[in-house]
Chain A
Amino acid sequence: MRLVKNKIEHNGSGTVTLLPEEPEDMWHAYNLIRPDDLLRASAIRRVTSVQDTGSTTSTRVHLNLVIRVKNLDFDPQSSQLHVSGQIINETPHTKIGQFHTLDLELNRNFTLEKEVGANGEGVGWDSIAVEMLKDAVDEGGNRRAEAVAVVMQEGLAHICFIGQFQTILKQKVEMSVPRKRQGGGGGDHDKGMGKFYRVTLETLLRQIDFNTTSTSTTSNESVRPILLASPGFVASGFHKYMQTEASTTTPALRKLLPSVAVVHSASGYMNSLSEVLQSPAVKTLLADTKYARETRLMDEFLDQLRKETNKATYGPREVESAVDQGAVGRGGGVLIMSNKLFRSQNVAERKRWVSLVDRVRDVEGGEVRILSSDHESGRRLEGLGGIAALLTFPVMEEDDVSESGEDNGDDYGSD
């Protein structure tokens, strides 16, 4: 995403003009735009006009609309963001107050304005929003190419794209492969696996837009690393199948082969993606990406939790109380939050988390890490209520908290 214009005032209100360049920028936009913001973008609207004679004509007009955001709809599979709301600027074709859904498009500017009301009813550009903006704009230019992972087991393959900020499950291949059977049933199994490999390869090539017809091996289009992961021998079998295909029917595959890595995973489900990303083969490929850092952080946290040192805690109430006790501060305190919490529709809710983050970072001196909920690590964190903390000293759990009632705990897992 390119930052075209930045006019953020000191009080937090102001406008930003952005130019999304890649599909992942839509995800950033999705995180930046919140209900009640003002969004200006180009739109195509169908306008129906009634003539004096009563006949109607309908035309499609290109407009620049400003809407007050009501709702966001993000489709991660196709990276499309639809923002709906009420129009607030007057145009020859539309009235104020009419509803419109803006489809943000790549390579078209949009302007986002956040307001802070006189009484502080809006949230404006708070620290989290500014940080997200920095992430989105990628000033350092150190964004790494994403990887493609095929997590598979017998008869099941998940093809997903691992980006800097999100993991997108592109397609799932599911197929019934006959098991080995007594009395020469092995042929069925091998045939089934062959078919499974073929379908998986076809799907994979389609997903990565790989041109199998071009025979020139010198084309300089970059190929993303492809990780094949499975328990047992499925991934290596698939790798072998690719090699055979490359040497026989589709020579173009040869271009792909150098970037393929076979790694181990515990199962063919997305759950085991974390294991895939921790394998040494992948670490070299994706070293020091945001994703790898997040995964490492989560592992560290879970380790602490397992050791039962009481130096790790999770859940909204527990973390807040730990922060109150000053345990998330200088010297190792880390507040880990899922960015889903900041997507909350409720202004008070968002303010609560933003103030917690600001407090840990500015007052306590601890570290704050915001994990993408669209990554595997973020999903693990969500299971813990979306918020966790590594503490500088052991905080004893207050038993009375857990005894005092069921209601307070219901906010984990459920949100």
Chain B
Amino acid sequence: MSKNRVKNVGYDDDDFYDDDGYDSPDPEEQEHLKQCTVLVSVQLQTGEPSVTASKEEIQEALWHYYNDVEKTVNYLRGKKEKEAQKQQATTSGLKTKAQVWENILTGLPVPVYPATASRPTAHFSAAEFFRDCPWLNVPAHRKAEILVEPLYPRLGLLGGAPEAKKGSKLAALAAARKAKASGQTTPASESSASQPETAEKPKLSLQERLAASSRTPKPAEGLAGLRRLGKPSPAVSSTPSPAPSESSTRPARTEETIIRQVNLGPPPKADLRAPCSVFATALIGKETRPKITEPNHGRPMIVDFDEIYGHNTEPFDFSGPSPDDVILKAQNASQGMKSKPKAGAAKDASKKGQADLAGGMNKLSVEEKVTVKSKNLDVLAEYNKSKRKRSANFVVIGHVDAGKSTLMGRLLADQGAIDQRTLDRYRKEAEKIGKGSFALAWVLDQGSEERARGVTIDIATNKFETENTAFTIVDAPGHRDFVPNMIAGASQADFAVLVIDSSVGKFESGLKGQTKEHALLVRSMGVQKIVVAVNKMDTVQWDKDRFEEIEQQISAFLTTAGFQSKNISFVPCSGVLGDNISRRSADVHASWYSGRILIEELEDSEPYTHALDKPLRMTIGDVFRGGVQSPISISGRLDAGSLQVGDQILTMPSGESALIRSIEVDGEPNDWAVAGQNVVLNLANIDPIHLRSGDVVCRSSSPIPTITTFTAKVLAFEHLMPMLVDVHRGRLHVPARISKLVASLDKASGATLKKRPKIVSPGTVVRVVVEMDTAVPLEAPTRVVLRTGGSTVAAGLLE
């Protein structure tokens, strides 16, 4: 429930809290309340026994039970049943009451008779309230009902009353008869305000007794009477204070009426009560007398009732309404009044504390829920409004030691994304461990292990800007062991830069190795455009023939891999020297090259469109601790959809929801993000145990399904048969097995060539069924890569 509700529990003694939450409730909350109301009324009617309750009643009850439908239904049903019983009981009530009284009369005049203690008080008090009121216009039958009973307790209960001392049956009976006979007249005289002092006396003593009925009042009668007179506890003496004149028109019969009065609006300013006696004033002083103009007139009353109910719940639970009923009715009566939430909340809190302490404790959560107000932006409109540079992600791929990281380090340094001082520091440190040529690579290879070994292990993202494009580099590892990381990087890319080592022998070994695998992988991940950087041209003295030989071989291979020749371009360059990267080479041997240099090729890329209006999908690339302010952060690239601060997101396959506390787009804080952007989401209200890299972030309105088996149309890179494979999709990486080769298909038309082949050879398109051990968030159409034993065996599309 809302924060306000929780607050109330703690602040039930505080009158000065803000009521606004009630006057203008959250529309969302109201919607929820409405739903709950419908639910409850349906359950009430369909359940056994079937009862009906008004909308107000239900909502009131829901409010008390924190929108817990089940509890509300139970409570309302109990209440309605009780009411029904009560109606039946009232017909026979007189008789039973008579019996009760007879019992008392026949027994000894015990000082306390708890079973009836509370009822007579109430009647008595009710009578007291009207002591000052003109009774002339009250119908006679009503008067009778009020007044017949109030007189009884004096017989059996009033320790201080002279009647109570009469122990004999006869005397009691006589008194009862007398009371009955004078029933019509006594109240009039009593409440005529001519004898307020006498009226007050029995009332006070009774109330006080009730309030502290647990301590057996067995003091000497005279002393007790004195004490009661002399020490009117503020709670007791203030009870009659609200005696609004309107109540005179409303005959008060039960306790609920009294409480209603408590909650009723502005008390009359005038003090209608008689002043304290001289004796009392002398004993206790004037100060103790409560001021009638006290603003919080309701509270002492509440406390009083709490005490009564707290100690005397048993005797009360007969046929009368439960305390809940009383409060509810009182609140219903005073609905719309300012004092309602105050009194209601306070009562609710204190009562909850008594009746449902355990339940309340369960609801309390140690964890503080964070709420972030959503700005409810129209993200797409915002996106269209924003004047952003064109952005492009590219992945750098190639065989191990082709110089990918160095080339990108050079690019970043040249574009000013990294300052000279940092670069100098890297150079110095690299030279210290004897790896001077790796200095540029250290811009991207930040891991200590990567630096020590001189090998990129994980992808690194970095960004730089030219005049019209903001680039994000994804530097992928080239080593075959880290192809899974490279796949993660490639899944974030719009186009690829393939780096090739042109030095003798290296090119050939690379072609056999990861050059080929990487190119095939990026193609099967959907990358269309590829820029081939023929690196280390300085080691072959910018040999034009060498360049052309490489160009010919690679372009032949890339075309067979499925790249269109217009999307392939070649640049001879040197990463270490920085030639033909951001500036044209000054080397005379390189003068033969007049084509575009690398940065020009990169800028030539077309803008890429992303599925902005699709449901949100984001594969988590990393889970980390962002800092003190953001203990749980995830990073990744939005595959589809959009999100904004304050959004509730769902992570699959854990199925846990989280709240977006803040968003960083390309390292800058922002209020929203759209597909295609690299974002860091700072989350709240989720345990990091539910977040793993490879999980998918989506919305609960359109969650991504988690599946254990899928059918995919894949291109076989190696022989396929039913076998164990690893399934890769971005960071996601799970063990699986090909359980069935459904059919081999024609590459162009997709027609079935052969059903259920035993084995398919490389280059065949085949439809396979893949089973996984664990449920994994995947949905069609997704591109997946199947690998086994450290090599890619197939890649394709989920169907």
Query: Which A residues are within 8 Å of any B CB, using their own CB?
Result: 176, 178-182, 184-186, 188-190, 231-233, 237, 264, 266-267, 269-272, 274-275, 302, 305-306, 308, 313-315, 318, 379-380, 383-385, 397, 402-403, 406, 409, 412-413
Contacts and interface: CB of A to CB of B under 8 A. Distances in A.
Nearest to B789: A266
A307 B756 CA distance: 18
B759 A402 contact: no
B788 interface: yes
A266 B788 contact: yes
Contacts of B758: 305, 313-315, 318, 397
22 contacts: A178-B625, A179-B459, A180-B450, A180-B458, A181-B446, A181-B635, A184-B446, A188-B625, A189-B447, A232-B482, A267-B733, A267-B787, A269-B726, A271-B726, A271-B735, A275-B789, A305-B721, A318-B758, A383-B723, A383-B738, A412-B740, A413-B722
B446 A232 contact: no
Nearest to A384: B722
Contacts of B391: none
A233 B449 CA distance: 9
Given A305-B721, A314-B758, A176 B737 contact: no
Contacts, number: 121
Given A179-B622, A267-B726, A308 B759 contact: yes
Nearest to A156: B733
A182 B473 CA distance: 12
Given A182-B460, A185-B624, A271-B735, 20 more contacts: A176-B692, A179-B624, A180-B460, A181-B635, A186-B447, A232-B457, A232-B481, A233-B453, A266-B790, A266-B791, A267-B790, A271-B726, A275-B790, A305-B719, A314-B722, A380-B723, A397-B758, A402-B754, A413-B739, A413-B740
Given A178-B625, A269-B735, A383-B738, A233 B448 contact: no
Interface in B719-768: 719, 721-726, 733, 735, 737-740, 754-759, 761
Interface string B477-507: 0010110100000000000000000000000
A209 to B, nearest CB: 28
B582 interface: no
B190 to A, nearest CB: 66
Given A233-B449, A383-B737, A413-B739, A176 B721 contact: no
A95 B735 CA distance: 50
B787 A266 contact: yes
Contacts of A315: 758
A186 B458 CA distance: 11
Contacts of B453: 233
A272 B460 CA distance: 27
Interface residues of B, number: 51
Interface string B773-791: 0000000000000011111
B9 interface: no
B723 A176 contact: no
B458 A179 contact: yes
A269 B459 CA distance: 21
Given A186-B447, A308-B759, A181 B722 contact: no
A271 B754 contact: no
B248 interface: no
A237 B739 CA distance: 35
B693 interface: yes
Given A176-B623, A180-B460, A379-B724, A271 B788 contact: yes
A178 B755 contact: no
B711 interface: no
Shortest 7 CB-CB contacts between residues of A and residues of B: A266-B790, A231-B481, A178-B624, A269-B735, A413-B739, A179-B622, A383-B722
Contacts of A302: 721, 723
B423 to A, nearest CB: 15
Contacts of B733: 267
Contact of B719 (A186, A306, A318, A412): A306
B482 A186 contact: no
A233 B453 CA distance: 10
B684 interface: no
Contact of A188 (B461, B462, B624, B788): B624
Task: Count chain A CB atoms within 10 A of each CB in B479, B635, B788 and give the residue with the most.
Answer: B788
A231 B723 contact: no
B623 A233 contact: no
A185 to B, nearest CB: 7
B450 A402 contact: no
A313 B723 CA distance: 14
B660 to A, nearest CB: 19
Contact of A267 (B450, B484, B624, B723): B484
B621 interface: yes
Contacts of B719: 305-306
A404 B791 CA distance: 35
Contacts of A308: 759, 761
B688 interface: yes
Contacts of B625: 178, 188
Contacts of A181: 446, 622, 624, 635
A190 B457 CA distance: 13
Contacts of A269: 726, 735
B126 interface: no
Task: Count chain B CB atoms within 10 A of each CB in A184, A266, A270, A275 and give the residue with the most.
Answer: A266
Contacts of A306: 719, 759
Contacts of B446: 180-182, 184-186
Contacts of B621: 179
B117 interface: no
A403 B462 contact: no
A237 B449 contact: yes
A406 B743 CA distance: 11
B264 interface: no
A208 to B, nearest CB: 24
Contacts of B484: 231, 267
A275 B726 CA distance: 14
Contacts of B726: 266-267, 269, 271
Contacts of A188: 624-625
Contacts of A409: 756
A231 B735 contact: no
Nearest to B790: A266
B519 interface: no
B61 interface: no
Contacts of B624: 178-179, 181, 185, 188
A271 B724 contact: yes
Contacts of B693: 176, 179
Task: Count chain A CB atoms within 10 A of each CB in B458, B481, B691 and give the residue with the most.
Answer: B481
Task: Count chain A CB atoms within 10 A of each CB in B739, B756, B757 and give the residue with the most.
Answer: B756
Given A182-B446, A185-B446, A383-B738, A176 B788 contact: no
Interface string B614-626: 0000000111110
A389 to B, nearest CB: 12
